[in-house]
A and B are shown apart, each in its own frame.
Chain A
Amino acid sequence: MGLSREDVIKVAQLARLELSEAEIAALTSQLGDVLTYIEQLSKLDTEGVEPMAHAVEMVNVLAEDVIEESFDREQILSNAPSRDDTCYRVPPVLGE
């Protein structure tokens, strides 16, 4: 199954990636090749097979509800690209 230029642009929107024209062209053909290869899976009958999401299938591993020391706010904020005294700073999300 091939992939169109429009598919690539739409997926890039979903993935929050800005792509150049050259990247769009390259990805259209490269991802198309990979999807064509992967198409072999459709030949395989998997009717009734339980999907396997994890190699070790553990569920609901619970931790004791104990209060432990957490990271220092200043230490965590020191990695922020933009911040004020106590918060991360981000561009406006709502209109002016």
Chain B
Amino acid sequence: MTLIEQSATELLGLLKRREVSSRELTGAYLDQIDAHDQQIHAFLRTDRDRALQQADLIDRRRAQGESLGSLGGLPVAVKDVLCTRGAVTSCASKMLENYVPPYDATPIARLKEADAVILGKTNMDEFAMGGSCENSAFGPTRNPWDTERIPGGSSGGAAASLAASMTPLSIGTDTGGSIRQPASHCGVVGLKPTYGRVSRYGLIAFASSLDAVGPLARTAEDVALLLGVIAGHDARDSTSIVQPVGDYRAATRRPLEGLRLGVVSEHFGEGLDPEVAQTVRDAIDLFKDLGATVREIAMPHSQYAISAYYIIAPSEASSNLARYDGAHYGMRAPEAEWRDGGAEENPLVQMYRSTRAEGFGAEVKRRIMLGTYALSAGYYDAYYLKALKVRRLIAQDYHDAFEQVDLIVGPVTPSPAFKLGDKSEDPLSMYLVDLYTVGANLAGIPAISLPCGFSSDRLPIGIQLQGAALSEELLLQAAGAYQGQTTWHSQRPELA
């Protein structure tokens, strides 16, 4: 195994023992990016000088015997939805193409305090809306396992950068599956934490009641390492939770005992690719070998999750994205293009309309339209309020399930990664692939996606574990135990 293919925790050991310097490691990942990102396009931006400067500083401090933060010189890639002070943060949107935030998002500030080296910003679906990374205004990311295929989304760059050994650690965000689904398609591990476990301060908002920042990596222990850095209360996010942060790394090494797993039979029904179904069932059998008991549980409202989600998320988005007005930051359409929309609008409104028309891509417009419709007079009760009630029923289903089992296990996605362009003309078909992942966001619970096998055309397949609020340690314990018995996570694609 080459240096860049090693796990973050192994690399951390090498750094601590000074068998490798942060500069060497950072340089090796930057070289890998230079060699292969033309093809994969996992990154929107890297800054070699800045990263190497940071690495040198950490190396010097280590040489002087200073005690370093818990990432002590490890490189990290960051999804371009988190604000980085003094460095462009575009959200993969033309609207924010030149936006330079004056502050760091809290997860970024914590990475810096932990002495991580930020390699660059990863590609994503524009404003984190999408499941394929095709909605990036700057071109799609390709799946390193098959470059004709999508890497998943919206954190597609985050997952692809790991699969292509361009970084040992990645930060993503998950509003309806945007960490877990690309992790599954790229054969890496992705954890969506409990809502509020990681601060959203400085996260460019999509749907504020669903958005979660979380780690992606190649092993459960690496994910645990990164979660330990970014998790914790933050006074700057009023929805941040105060409970103490667990010892996540230790959890991944704890043996499994008496784990009670629940399976939702509807999640193995119509629409699930037979290879995915079989692979996930085999993984569940392995958990049985590890001493887990498995029982069927009922989630009677899970069939309504997509509908509720595609009302709530666009509604929140339509409100959150109202801030892109061409006045405060971001782009403004040139005056020559302003037009009266037929309602004798004043020039300010004309400027708004033209700016938003030019700055937003098709999917973002679609969601703003859907949300605006659901919130508009006469439809609010039938759509938005109804969806909030269904959200309660879905959360109640989870609550009831976790009275009987510790974790719910099942597929992450209905099929392995599809081909670029396959679903772009049919938004509804794209939304339906989120069916196993949106429930965790609606209920605010944590969930993890783990590599559990490959399809016959050698595309990665993932398994999802979902737990009750704040069960991150148990999820990581189960993930660690599973990876102790399997090698799916250590396989790498061959890059051209």
Contacts and interface: CB of A to CB of B under 8 A. Distances in A.
Given A17-B369, A52-B391, A92-B346, A78 B428 contact: no
B390 interface: yes
A80 interface: yes
Interface stretch (B160-168, B347-355, B403-411): B347-355
B50 interface: no
Nearest to B238: A61
B100 interface: yes
A86 interface: no
Contact of B343 (A13, A42, A79): A13
Contacts of A14: 372, 376
Given A46-B389, A91-B347, A11 B376 contact: yes
Nearest to B102: A75
A15 B307 contact: no
Given A16-B349, A93-B348, A55 B395 contact: yes
A91 B348 contact: yes
A53 B353 contact: no
A41 B328 contact: no
Nearest to B383: A38
Interface in A22-65: 23, 26-27, 30-31, 33-35, 37-38, 40-42, 44, 46, 49-56, 58, 61, 63
Nearest to A81: B332
Which has the most chain B C-beta neighbours within 10 Å: A12, A61, A80?
A: A12
B196 interface: yes
Contacts of A16: 322, 325, 349, 352-353, 356
A52 B392 contact: yes
A31 B373 contact: yes
B239 A76 contact: no
Given A34-B428, A37-B307, A91-B348, A17 B442 contact: no
Contact of B389 (A50, A58, A79): A50
B239 A56 contact: yes
B330 interface: yes
A44 B304 contact: yes
B475 to A, nearest CB: 17
B427 A51 contact: no
B386 A41 contact: yes
A55 B369 contact: no
A56 B241 contact: yes
Given A33-B427, A55-B195, A11 B373 contact: yes
Given A61-B238, A90-B351, A82 B383 contact: no
Interface in B186-203: 195-196
Contacts of A30: 366, 427-428
Given A15-B318, A38-B307, A58-B238, A51 B356 contact: no
Contacts of B239: 54, 56, 58, 61
Contacts of A41: 304, 307-308, 311, 386-387, 390
Nearest to A8: B369
Interface string B166-185: 00000000000000000000
A40 B307 contact: yes
A72 B368 CA distance: 32
A53 B308 CA distance: 12
Contact of B102 (A17, A76, A95): A76
Contacts of A13: 341, 343
B402 interface: no
A81 B352 contact: no
Which has the most chain B C-beta neighbours within 10 Å: A50, A80, A81, A95?
A: A81
B328 A80 contact: yes
B288 interface: no
B493 interface: no
Given A40-B307, A41-B308, A41-B386, A18 B357 contact: yes
Contact of A92 (B347, B391, B441): B347
Contacts of A7: 373
Interface of B: 99-100, 102-103, 195-196, 209-210, 235, 238-239, 241, 301, 303-304, 306-308, 310-311, 318, 322, 325-332, 335, 338-339, 341, 343, 346-354, 356-357, 360, 362, 365-366, 368-370, 372-373, 376, 382-383, 385-393, 395, 426-428, 431, 441-445, 469
| 4 tightest Cβ-Cβ pairs between the two chains A and B | A55-B444, A51-B388, A81-B332, A91-B347
Interface of A: 3, 7-8, 11-19, 23, 26-27, 30-31, 33-35, 37-38, 40-42, 44, 46, 49-56, 58, 61, 63, 71-72, 75-76, 78-82, 88, 90-95
Given A41-B390, A71-B102, A81-B327, 6 more contacts: A35-B373, A46-B389, A49-B389, A50-B389, A55-B395, A88-B328
30 contacts: A8-B369, A17-B353, A17-B369, A18-B339, A19-B365, A23-B365, A27-B365, A31-B369, A33-B427, A33-B428, A34-B431, A38-B307, A38-B311, A40-B304, A46-B386, A46-B389, A50-B392, A51-B389, A53-B209, A54-B239, A55-B210, A56-B195, A56-B469, A58-B238, A71-B102, A75-B102, A80-B329, A81-B329, A88-B327, A93-B348
